[in-house]
Amino acid sequence: MRRRTGLAMASVAALAWGEWLNWRWSRVLVGNRPGAFEAVVVLGYRNPWPTANLINRWRVRTGIRSCATGAHETRVVFSGGATRSGTAEARLMADYATSVLGFDGTVLLEEHSATTWENITNVIPLLEDVDRIKIASQPAHALKARAYLRRQRPDLAERLVRADDYRPGEWIVVKPLLALYGLWTLRGLKSEERKASR
């Protein structure tokens, strides 16, 4: 009985820790900038199949729900190059957004990136004229991308606002694993890039 109680408490603690870290990461390096024109950048994930995989489908849904209802114009930028399937991740995600989710807004594709750094480098020309920028991915990955935008174009990074990438209880069972993986992937960020947002 005591052992079962200990396991239950450890499980609850792990779930709470995963929730807290993902919540926190979704609020780092973002502001509360107003503006009528926004871009939602959806980052691709390794996709060897001819249709969007589970992670890319989740990222697309995150990107679509991140579109502000009050924005005058929102463009969704799908970013990711070709993998073994021969089709760019950006195109697979855009197809999923339009054909499955019925998204009928403005879609732009960036089809050459192979890394998160390249994602950011290659979408910069598509962000120059917007007031607000949202990056849609898992919270740790989105934070990494925001830090990269801050390194490459601090002026554009001032336009970063929160995407709807964290929701309480969503993916709750895997959030501790995402948190562990996030800690590993974010180890190269500087201390000022990890601080809670202004």
What mean pLDDT comes out for the span 140-159?
Answer: 97
For the beta carbon of residue 102, count every other beta carbon within 10 angstroms: 8
Q: Can you list the domains of the chain with their CATH numbers? A: 2-193 (3.40.50.620)
Banded model confidence at residue 49, pLDDT cuts 50, 70, 90: confident
Amino acid at 193: E
What mean pLDDT comes out for the span 179-194?
Answer: 83
State the sign of the Cα–Cα–Cα–Cα dihedral 32, 128, 35, 166.
Answer: negative
pLDDT tens for each residue of 77-133: 999 999 776 899 999 999 999 999 999 999 999 999 999 999 999 999 999 999 999
3/172: higher pLDDT: 172
Integer Cα distance of 140 and 169 in angstroms: 16
Banded model confidence at residue 135, pLDDT cuts 50, 70, 90: very high
Banded model confidence at residue 198, pLDDT cuts 50, 70, 90: very low
pLDDT tens for each residue of 59-69: 999 999 999 77
pLDDT at residue 55 greater than cutoff 90: yes
Judge contact between 162 and 134, C-beta under 8 A.
Answer: yes
Among 111-115, 148-152, 181-185, which stretch is predicted with the lowest mean pLDDT? Answer: 181-185
User: For residue 143, which of 41, 29, 6 has the smallest C-alpha distance?
Assistant: 29
Banded model confidence at residue 170, pLDDT cuts 50, 70, 90: confident
